[in-house]
Amino acid sequence: MVNVEKSFVNNMFSVEGKVAMVTGATGALGCVLAKAYGYAGAKVFMTGRNEKKLQALQDEFEAEGIDCAFFVADPQVEDDVKALVAACVAKYGEVNILAICHGYNKPANILDQSVEDWQFIMDADCKSVYIVCKYVAEQMVAQGKGGKMIVVTSQRSKRGMAGYTGYCTSKGGADLMVSSMACDLTAKYGINVNSLCPTVFRSDLTEWMFDPDSEVYKNFLKREPIGRLAEPSDFVGFALFLSSEASAFMTGANYDCSGGYLTC
């Protein structure tokens, strides 16, 4: 007899009724993933540092019938994160999915970059991931239902780049942290932890790279077998997959979401 259940196959990609916390929700990727979770039937709890933008997102989402809320917090500040988790639990009773979408970079040659600027990048992209995951993990363990954590890092975690001694180091650290957290959290507590590693995707900061006549764009395409740069919506499927039971046997991994960037 074939050992697979129809109910599992029919529902394995569902996040219906789950509570999804999204950090960096005001960013180009965070807002797209937050809305996607809402479209998929999850309750969405958004966070970022800009209250005005968060309120605008809540208004937009609620107009489309999405159950959502927000809390202003800086993910680098431990007390902010504790309050963030408490606010989510007060609103929805639990946290089932964590999608970390915040990030920061300030490129500079190591000879020009101050130690303070390098440390800020590390705190923004690595320490903050630790803080958020730690307190969300504590909540998930207390709930006793397991959970899903998805951390957006970068292909720069796998490759060095001039001017990126801070960013590459922070993203590499975050990827290795993901693997280590999985060793702590998955077998014992049922919390799957994975990262998505994109290359450049469209945002206010990267829009200039999308000019098809620019040398930057042409150089990128030399290493993009998919033939284009990414849109934030390109990562929705993978994020929902890693948030659902379809990925129950996947943890501790850093997944290539780059259009084949590492193959060329």
Q: Read off the pLDDT of residues 185-209 as tens digits, 9 standing for 90 and up.
A: 999 999 999 999 998 899 988 888 8
SS3 per-residue string spanning the chain: CCCCCHHHHHHCCCCCCCEEEEECCCCHHHHHHHHHHHHCCCEEEEEECCHHHHHHHHHHHHHCCCCEEEEECCCCCHHHHHHHHHHHHHHHCCCCEEEECCCCCCCCCCCCCCHHHHHHHHHHHHHHHHHHHHHHHHHHHHHCCCEEEEEECCHHHCCCCCCCHHHHHHHHHHHHHHHHHHHHHHHHHCEEEEEEEECCECCCCCHHHHCCCCHHHHHHHCCCCCCCCECHHHHHHHHHHHHCHHHCCCCCCEEEECCCHHHC
Report the pLDDT averaged over residues 170-182.
96
Q: How many angstroms separate the CA atoms of 121 and 160, rounded?
A: 15
pLDDT of residue 253: 97
Class of domain 15-257: alpha beta
CA distances from 254 to 9, 53, 57, 190, 199 (A): 25, 30, 29, 18, 13
Lowest pLDDT segment from 89-93, 200-204, 235-239: 200-204
Q: Read off the pLDDT of residues 141-162 as tens digits, 9 standing for 90 and up.
A: 999 999 999 999 998 888 888 8
The percent of residues in the chain predicted with pLDDT above 70, rounded, is: 100
Tell me the average pLDDT of the chain: 95
Assign 239 a pLDDT band (cuts: 50, 70, 90). very high
pLDDT of residue 93: 98
Report the pLDDT averaged over residues 95-101.
98
Is 16 a residue whose pLDDT tops 80?
Answer: yes
What pTM does this model have?
A: 0.95
C-alpha R_g of the chain: 18
**Residue 244, token pair as written in the block:** 């659902």
pLDDT of residue 192: 98
- Bigger pLDDT: 264 vs 65: 65
> Quick check: 95 and 140 in contact, CB under 8 A?
yes
Q: Which residues are catalytic?
A: 167
Is 264 a residue whose pLDDT tops 80?
Answer: no
Lowest pLDDT segment from 128-132, 179-183, 200-204, 234-238: 200-204
CA distances from 209 to 13, 14, 228 (A): 34, 35, 11
Report domain extents, the chain.
15-257
